[in-house]
Each structure stands twice: as C-alpha cells, then as structure tokens.
Structure 1
Amino acid sequence: MDTPSSNYEASEDYPLSPVPAHARKSMVSLAPLLIGFTLYSGTLFAGGIVGPSFAFFPDLILVILVGNLILGLYAAALGYIAGQTGLNTVLLARFSFGAVGSRWVDFILGFTQIGWYAWGSGLIADLLNTVVGFPTSLNWLLIIGVTYGFCVTAYIGYQALDWLSRIAVPAMVILMLWSLTVATGDAGGWSGLTAMTPSEPLPLTVAITIIVGTFVSGGTQATNWSRFATSGRTAAIATLIAFFLGNGFLIFSGAYSALVYDNSDIVQVMVQQGLLVWGLILFFLNMWTTQDNTIYAFSVAGAHAFRTPKRHLVVLTGATIALALTFGGIYASEQFVNFLVLLGTFIPPIGGVIMADFWLYRRGVLPALSIPQPAMNWVGIGSYVVAAAIAYFAPGITPLNGIIAAFALYTVSSRFFQP
C-alpha cells in the first residue's frame, strides 16, 4: 500500500532514494527520452568545430565514430549500474566519494548543467534575432520566457519528459535527414564531399576530446533517467543508442553543415535551404527536449547536495540561476572550445571511480542508502584528483585517459586502503 511519504517521493521522481520496481520504464519509454537529451544545438557547434579539420572520408567519419563510441560506452556502463541499483550518479557517489565528498560531484555536475541551460537560453535569443528579426531590445523578455518555459516538463518529471520525447524525437530526425539530403545535393553528391579539403587543422586527440567533452557531463548524468530502466541491460542499451547514435548523428550533422555551408547550425542552414518554418520547428523541439533534461539533471544534483526531497523547488531555483548567467553574457563567451575540453578532462574520472567502486570493490552489491557512509572516501577522492591530473597533462585522448586512470587507481588503491 502506498504511503503519503512514498507518494511524495514518486511525485518528486525519487531524488534521494532508489527508483522502486513499480516505477521502472521500458526501452520504448527510455530510449526516446535519452535521445531527446542528446539532440542538442551545442553538439552541432562542436561538430562544426571538428568538421572543417578533416577530410570527409574516412578521416572525419572515423573521428566521429571513435569519439562517440568512447562517450557511448562510458555512458552505457554508468547506465547499467543505474539500472541495476535504481540510483543515479550523485547517489552512487556517496559510496565512492563519501557522504560529504559526494557533494563535489553534485557541484561539478550541477554547475556544468546549469551553464549549458543558460548558454541555451542565449542561443535561442541570438538565433531568433538573426533568423526572424526578433528585436534585440526584447531579448530580456524572450530569455525569461524560454528559461522558465522550457523547465515546465522538468518540473513535472519523468512522465512529461517521456511524452515530449516520443513526439519530438521522430520529428527532429525526419527534419534533420531532410536538410542533410538537400545539403548533399548542394555539395555535389559524394564526389563533391570527398573532394573537400580540410581548412582548419585540428589535432586528432583534441577533436576526439571535443566530441566527448560536448556531452560527457550529460553522459555522466544520464543515470537520472537510466535508473528508471527495468534492468541494467535495458538501461545500458538505451543509453548506448542515445549517446553513440543520437549524439553521433548530431555531431555528424554539425560537421556536415559546416563542410557544405560553412555554418554548423542546422537551423540556419535550413533557412538557407528555404525551409524557414521547418527549421524553427526543429530548433524549438531541439532546445526543449534538451533544456528540460538539463535543468532536470541540475535539480537532481541540487536535491542531493542539500539533501532535500523538494526537487520541484530546485528546478525553479536552477532556472533562476541560469537566468542570471544568461543575462551575465555566458553565451557571448569566447572560451567555448576551452570549456568543452575542460569538461572532457575533469568529468570522466568521476565515472571511472564509480565504476571501479561498483564492479571491482563492491562486486556489484551496494549497501542500502540508509546505512551511513564515511564523510570522505579518500580512496575515491584521491583517485579522482590524480586521474584528473593525468587526463590534463598526459598526451593522448584526454577523456579516455581520465576514465582508465581513475578506474585503475581506485582498483589498486582499494586493495591497500579501506574506502
């Protein structure tokens, strides 16, 4: 029998407890929601940075495949743990970082998500100024409207995110394929694409780091939804589909548009193609399905940081913080590429620590959340710090370095020191 407490937790989407069996969702529900999360305009821009730097085939295709495979496998591994336990990343971090140490995970994940949310609001205003001539003098009103409007589905919770994604994802995929087909014709077909030469060389490792860094924060927090899966296997498959195929498709679209039109924004490209109305519909759906997931992820991290079950309140608080950041000019920052590289450096080791703790130290069995954990898990914290330093300074593929280093350091350290 449901109690008032359990009903309240359900209405708030279980921010401080495992998702119970009766609230779990199928692949049909989970996969579109996660794909909608990955179909984000910021990913198009990352594709636009990478696209002009490589020959279309096979170089660019291989870079996109490798980058998104790393991202997809990383997110899927965390998704499996979430599906098995019913816990998201910030709750899992209590075991691998400690009851107090896990608040660092809350901060870094929450901060990046709220930054993306604010950046998205600025992007909306800028695009509508450019495409439809929306008066810049009214940008403040537009930004307030989209900042609070797009968080409505996140406020309601998983059910609203689910139904929005079921409608929006198929529509977005169809519209993007339509635009890419037109672009292929404008490029002169396959021969025209393969004849294009790189114009802005970019080191291979930096390109892969940008691809992974674009959505590694989202991949680390995809557990907010994969914890609703009926099993670990379902969660892993749905997450891999979203982060390898969904994110890969958007990276490819941004790179493709940059190659053909010298513009990574597929919405502006659709305007050039004479598809203004359809481009605006795509943009609206694209932003809504990711912005609401982004602020939802912030709300879960914030609820855990302050140990409050009032996720709804944290959604509104996060939207207000994002509003201040947007008005502060976050969209106009010239450090976008550096931001992506830093995300790809400092976030993946979190997942490496959590995976090593779950699979190798605890052998896939976690204690109940009600059992107090040490304030600081120094093995986890130390492994993270050293792995982040290795990722930052060592040559190679930065995110992969961070994941492997954190996993290995935690595995070895936990044999000698009690986590």
Structure 2
Amino acid sequence: MTSETRTAATGPADAEVVDPDYPVTPVPAHARKSFFSVAVVLLGFTVFTPTMLAGAALGPAFSFSNLLLVIGLGSLVLGVYVAVMGWVGARTGLTTVVMARYTLGTRGAKLASVLLGGTQIGWYAVVVGTIGDLTAEALDWDSYGARAAVMVVTSVLMCATAYWGYHGMYWVSLVSTPLILILAFWVLGRSLQEVGGFSGLAGVEPTSSMALAVAVTTVVGTFVSAGTQAPNWTRFARRPSHAVWACVIGFLVGNGLMIFFGAVGALTFGEGDFVLVLYQLGLVGWGLVLLFGNLWKSNADTAYAFGVAGAELFNRPSKAPFVIGGSVIATGLALTGVQNHLVDYLVLLGTFIPPLGGVIIGDFLARWRRGIPGGYAPPAVRWPNLAAYAVAAGLAWLSGELGIGIPPVIGIVVAIVLSMGLARLSPDTATRVPAQR
C-alpha cells in the first residue's frame, strides 16, 4: 500500500476514526484482509439472481456458440475495467467516492457521492420491493400488509448486515454464496435435461435477433455501475494483485455464470430467473431460500455503498447513520411500488456512472502512480477532470441513443484518455512531490 495523507482525505471532523470500516480514511495495514476474504465478498456481490434476466434476453437471440462468445466478451470487458478499479482501490486504501476528492476536488467529489449513493438507494428499493412481490407470488398472498411486512423485515436484515460492515458482508456471503451456487448448478442440470444436454442446447435455433454491440452492452451493463464501486471492498486487500484477482473471480467469473444461467433457463424453461424456475418445478421452499439468500447479501453491499457515499458527502467519520437513513428511505420507496417504475431510470444512470470510474483510473495513472504525497490537499474543484467526465458521459449517452458502439465502454475509454491527456497539459504540483512511504 502506498502512503496517503489523512488530512487530504478527511476534514477536521474526521481526526479520530470511529468506524472500523474507515469510510473516509485509508484502510491501514493492520485492517487489511486476506485474498480469500475479499474474493468471497466480491463473489457474493455479483452472484445476483436478477442478473439472470440479462441472460434471458440474450439466450433466444443467439446460437449457443455465439452466446458463449457474447457472454465471454462482455464479461472480459467488465472484468478488466473492474479489476483496474479494484487495483486502484487497493493501492490507495480509499473508497470510490473518497478517491473522487483527488480526481474532482473536495467539492467536485460531491457529484460522485450523490450519483453513486443516490443510485444505490434506488437499487436497494427495487430489490426490497422485488422480494416482497416474489414472496407474495410464491405463497399466493393477496394482502398488501403481508407483502409490506416481508419488505420491512428483509430490509432490516440487510441494513443490519451493512451496519456491521465488512465483517457482516463477509459472513453472509461465506454462508449463502455456496448454497446459491449449488442450487443454481442443480437447476442448470435440470435445464439441460429438458433439451438433451449441451448438444441439445447447441441445437436450439435463435427465435429473436440482437446486434452484437447491444448484446455485449447488456452483459457489461449488468454490473458496470456497481463495479465502479469495487474499491469500497478491494481497499481492504493486502496486495493490489489480490484485489485484481478477486475482481476477476467476482465480475468475470461470477457475473458471467449468472448471465449464462439466465440464458439457459430462458432457452429451456422460458424463464431466466432460477427462483421462478424453482417455483415452476414445485420447489417453492428452495426458491425462497435462493431468493432471500441471494438478495440479502447483494443488497447489504448496496446499503454499505450508499453508507460510505453519505459519509463522504457530509464528511463524517462513520457510515452508520447513512446506512440506516438510506435504508429507511429506500424501504419507503419500495412500499410505494417504486420497483415497477424505477428500473429504466436506474439503468439510464448506469450510462453516467462508468465514466466516473474512467476519470479516476486515468487521473491515478497520470498523477498518482507513485503514491499520494503526504500533506497534499486537493483543490475544491478540478475543472479539467470534471470536463473530461462530462464529455465522456455525454458521448456514452449519445452512443446509446444512436445505437453505435458499447456505451459503457465508450464512456470509460474516453474518460481515461481525456483525464490522462488533461493531466499532462495541466500538471498538478503534487506530481513533483515524492511520495511518502
């Protein structure tokens, strides 16, 4: 780990860290975790059953060989991007929103906190609402009160896990992820029986069409926004290489598997979500186990993300009040049925989040590769990087509107190139100060 100054990352209110998760300060060496621990948390984050719906959209549009190509290419793009973000997080020991202070300035970073934190509150609401709806469907409940009670109880469990912090997410992931994968592979086996194994699956003809760029965008888009916040967890890695491989396991392997499962489910049962496949098979109890175990751990990570974003936004040394407050707001949104209206909006925001990661990567490579100098205080606003972000986000949105290229990739690449180029044109005095080690 390179040495960073605490005074650059924090304000006077943060002189004493009161949160063992260090939401606004670098994670010290004694608090770093093993490779296994970080990999478990990230794999638990990406083994997320709603991702199967993306696979369900892809499955009927491609032959089996082309489907594997699309999933592999999209997962590779996603995995490389998140691995670089994770590497930066391990090198600095900082969350994504605190790294944004160095990239966008102390005031400019508030944009990152609002964008990332707000989006995560929205997703938390969608997941809580989805749990209530699918539980009611499984148990044939018509009562709104019963559905609301499920939402409130599950939200409390998720909030408590995030409040507990890294340790809570680790233990929930350690217990639930293997069970979820066992269930998923079992359903995969049943799915293959329906079509005569992999040879039968290879013989299934496409029934719809989708452009390759759109398909790869679908794969990348499943977790590119959440992947931008991978440093929230990889900052605990003891070595940057550990962070890289943990991201590869989580975002390339784990996320890719969930997309593949969804595609196979759609081709064999006409349903991409294995929770609903288990319902179809009459295994309602196991379906609920898969539903609760999976969404509990993933939404706990979501609550943790908006907790650290709130800590940065208000420059407070503890994530706890923001985890609780965000969970309360999100649960209230879920109780109004927001999950039926908010998803498209949140996906749109996903276009504007990846360029933020691109700017952080480009700025780090251009200015901070040798470490952040002790005593360096970022300016209030770094206008060149804000401009790079705005241009990259605009081009990503435009590419989506015109159907040209892969919007998240365009946003990331343009942001990296512009931020690195602008850093060379307007060097910061900090780049000439040797890093403290």
Q: TM-score range by the shorter chain?
A: over 0.9
**Quick check: 1:72 aligned with 2:76?**
no
CA contact (8 A) 1:34 1:242 kept: yes
1:204-283 map, 5 Å: 204-283=212-291
1:4-23 map, 5 Å: 9=17, 11-23=19-31
Look up the SS of the partner of 1:201 in the other structure. coil
Distance 1:191 1:283 in 2: 30
Distance 1:414 1:11 in 2: 34
Look up the SS of the partner of 1:404 in the other structure. helix
> 1:372: how far off?
2.4
Residue in 1 aligned with 2:390?
385
CA contact (8 A) 1:214 1:343 kept: no
Look up the SS of the partner of 2:115 in the other structure. helix
Distance 1:81 1:253 in 2: 31
Residue in 2 aligned with 1:407?
416
Distance 1:212 1:344 in 2: 10
Residue in 2 aligned with 1:61?
68
Residue in 2 aligned with 1:33?
41
CA contact (8 A) 2:14 2:317 kept: no
Alpha carbons of 1:38 and 1:299: their partners in 2 closer, same or farther (altered >3 Å)?
A: same
Task: Say which of 373, 377, 380 aligns to 1:375.
Answer: 380
Residue in 1 aligned with 2:311?
303
Residues 88-145 of structure 1, C-alpha deviation per residue, up to 9 Å, x if partnerless? Answer: 1111111111111111111111112111110001111111111122333222222121
Task: Say which of 80, 101, 106 aligns to 1:99.
Answer: 106
> 1:198: how far off?
2.3
Q: 5+ unaligned residues in a row in structure 1: which ranges? A: none
Residue in 2 aligned with 1:291?
299
Higher mean displacement: 238-247 or 272-281 = 272-281
Q: Which amino acid aligns with 2:411?
A: G
Residues 277-305 of structure 1, C-alpha deviation per residue, up to 9 Å, x if partnerless? Answer: 22221111101110101100110111101
Residue in 1 aligned with 2:364?
358
Residue in 2 aligned with 1:133?
140
1:60-209 map, 5 Å: 60-138=67-145, 139-209=147-217
CA contact (8 A) 1:12 1:312 kept: no
CA contact (8 A) 2:366 2:424 kept: no
Task: Say which of 340, 345, 351 aligns to 1:345.
Answer: 351
Q: Which amino acid aligns with 2:152?
A: I
Distance 1:364 1:207 in 2: 38
Q: Which amino acid aligns with 2:70?
A: V
Distance 1:61 1:48 in 2: 13
Higher mean displacement: 270-279 or 99-108 = 270-279
Distance 2:346 2:309 in 1: 20
Residues 123-170 of structure 1, C-alpha deviation per residue, up to 9 Å, x if partnerless? Answer: 111111111223332222221212222211111111111111111111
Task: Say which of 399, 403, 406 aligns to 1:397.
Answer: 406
Alpha carbons of 1:344 and 1:65: their partners in 2 closer, same or farther (altered >3 Å)?
A: farther
Q: Which amino acid aligns with 1:354?
A: I
Q: CA RMSD in A?
A: 1.9
> 1:246: how far off?
0.8
- Calculate percent identity across the aligned residue pairs: 41
Alpha carbons of 1:343 and 1:211: their partners in 2 closer, same or farther (altered >3 Å)?
A: farther
> 1:6: how far off?
10
Distance 2:27 2:261 in 1: 35
Q: Which amino acid aligns with 1:75?
A: V
TM-score (norm 2): 0.90
> 1:329: how far off?
2.4
Residues 36-67 of structure 1, C-alpha deviation per residue, up to 9 Å, x if partnerless? Answer: 11112321222222222222x21111111111
CA contact (8 A) 1:76 1:236 kept: yes
Distance 1:166 1:275 in 2: 24
Higher mean displacement: 226-235 or 264-273 = 264-273
Residue in 1 aligned with 2:7?
none
CA contact (8 A) 1:210 1:344 kept: no
Alpha carbons of 1:365 and 1:7: their partners in 2 closer, same or farther (altered >3 Å)?
A: closer
**Quick check: 1:313 aligned with 2:321?**
yes
Residue in 2 aligned with 1:42?
50
Distance 1:91 1:411 in 2: 19
> 1:364: how far off?
3.7
Q: Which amino acid aligns with 1:70?
A: V
Distance 1:339 1:204 in 2: 23
> 1:407: how far off?
0.6
Residues 61-99 of structure 1, C-alpha deviation per residue, up to 9 Å, x if partnerless? Answer: 111111111111111101111111111111111111111
